[in-house]
């Protein structure tokens, strides 16, 4: 993922609750979708809150069932300013909702967000998530941090080595209560296509830093270095997440 700084200056949640992708084990058809967004000249916390409320009302009117987050990159990048993340019940539900939106709501939405922000339909990326480890406790704060890694398996190793690594990691009970992780399968043509996408999620930056320090003192980093090559770097692509909708 590309990265860019955009810090929210206020919390504007409507019924904020759990963190990124749903904590409970998702149904096999659950899909996660990321839409690249750029800030317009009128972008500020108040106008973003207006856009979020307008979007939630639109989704209610459409009868769509989905959760959503805004992901704010921690490091600047020219590709986008933030990401609007959708968590869909299924690919069919996603397709039906997009179709309804394009036919009946797109013009009104474009008018509502004019000057505030822009979306890029050429940069919409859907993944099939698999929860590999659930958190010990549900994060109900409405905020979280996460890191994406786009990885390939090194020569001489295989996906069986990834399974063994996950098993070793999952047996450890030394990480923070709100940490959990997923693997994401791209549902689009990626070039180059990673062998796997790894997503870590924490309740806070403090938890993340503490868990990484704990992890660094185990044998696991050497395992990763030998068997996998991950982009963009050893810390992944980091984001601050804010929940904006829970169905």
Per-residue pLDDT tens digits for 128-156 = 999 999 999 999 999 999 999 999 999 99
- Distance, CA of 191 to CA of 36 (rounded, Å): 18
Average pLDDT, the chain: 89
Q: What is the mean pLDDT of residues 40-65?
A: 97
User: Considering the domain boundaries, does residue 65 fall inside one?
Assistant: no
- Check residue 42 and give its pLDDT: 98
Number of domains in the chain: 1
The pLDDT of residue 1 is above 90: no
Q: What is the mean pLDDT of residues 221-236?
A: 96
pLDDT tens per residue, range 33-44: 999 999 999 999
User: Considering the domain boundaries, does residue 53 fall inside one?
Assistant: no
| Residue 22: band (very low, low, confident or very high) from pLDDT cuts 50, 70, 90 | very low
- Looking at per-residue confidence, does 31 or 10 come out higher? 31
Phi, psi of 212 (to 5 degrees): -65, -35
The pLDDT of residue 24 is above 60: no
- Check residue 29 and give its pLDDT: 81
User: Considering the domain boundaries, does residue 100 fall inside one?
Assistant: no
User: Considering the domain boundaries, does residue 81 fall inside one?
Assistant: no
Pick from 186, 178, 72: nearest CA to 125: 186
Q: What is the percent of the chain where pLDDT is above 70?
A: 89
The pLDDT of residue 191 is above 90: no
- Check residue 14 and give its pLDDT: 26
Please give the radius of gyration of the chain, using alpha carbons only, rounded to the nearest integer. 18
- Looking at per-residue confidence, does 17 or 56 come out higher? 56
- Give pTM, 2 decimals: 0.87
Give the range of the structural domain holding residue 163, as residue numbers without chain letter: 145-232
The pLDDT of residue 26 is above 80: no
User: Considering the domain boundaries, does residue 180 fall inside one?
Assistant: yes
Pick from 170, 176, 166: nearest CA to 212: 176
Pick left, alpha or beta for residue 41 (phi over 0 → left; psi -120 to 50 → alpha; otherwise beta).
alpha
- Distance, CA of 124 to CA of 199 (rounded, Å): 18
Report the CATH number at residue 151.
3.30.70
């Amino acid at each position: 993922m590309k990265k860019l700084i955009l810090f929210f200056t206020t919390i504007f949640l409507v019924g904020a609750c759990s963190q990124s992708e749903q904590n409970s084990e998702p149904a096999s058809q659950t899909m996660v979708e990321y839409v690249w967004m750029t800030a317009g000249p009128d972008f500020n916390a108040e106008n973003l809150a207006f856009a979020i409320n307008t979007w939630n009302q639109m989704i209610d009117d459409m009868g769509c069932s989905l959760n959503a987050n805004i992901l704010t990159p921690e490091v600047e990048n020219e590709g986008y300013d933030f990401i609007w993340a959708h968590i869909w019940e299924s690919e069919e539900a996603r397709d039906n909702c997009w179709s309804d939106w394009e036919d009946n709501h797109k013009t009104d939405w474009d008018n509502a967000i004019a000057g505030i922000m822009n979306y890029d339909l050429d940069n919409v990326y859907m993944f099939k998530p698999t929860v590999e480890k659930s958190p010990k406790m549900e994060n109900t704060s409405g905020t979280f941090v996460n890191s994406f890694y786009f990885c390939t398996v090194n020569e001489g190793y295989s996906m069986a080595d990834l399974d063994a690594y996950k098993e070793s990691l999952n047996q450890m009970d030394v990480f923070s209560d709100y940490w959990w992780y997923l693997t994401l399968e791209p549902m689009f043509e990626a070039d180059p296509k990673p062998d796997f996408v790894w997503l870590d999620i924490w309740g806070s930056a403090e938890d993340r830093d503490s868990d990484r320090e704990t992890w660094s003192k185990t044998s696991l980093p050497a395992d990763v270095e030998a068997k996998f090559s991950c982009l963009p770097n050893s810390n992944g692509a980091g984001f601050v997440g804010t929940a904006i909708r829970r169905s």
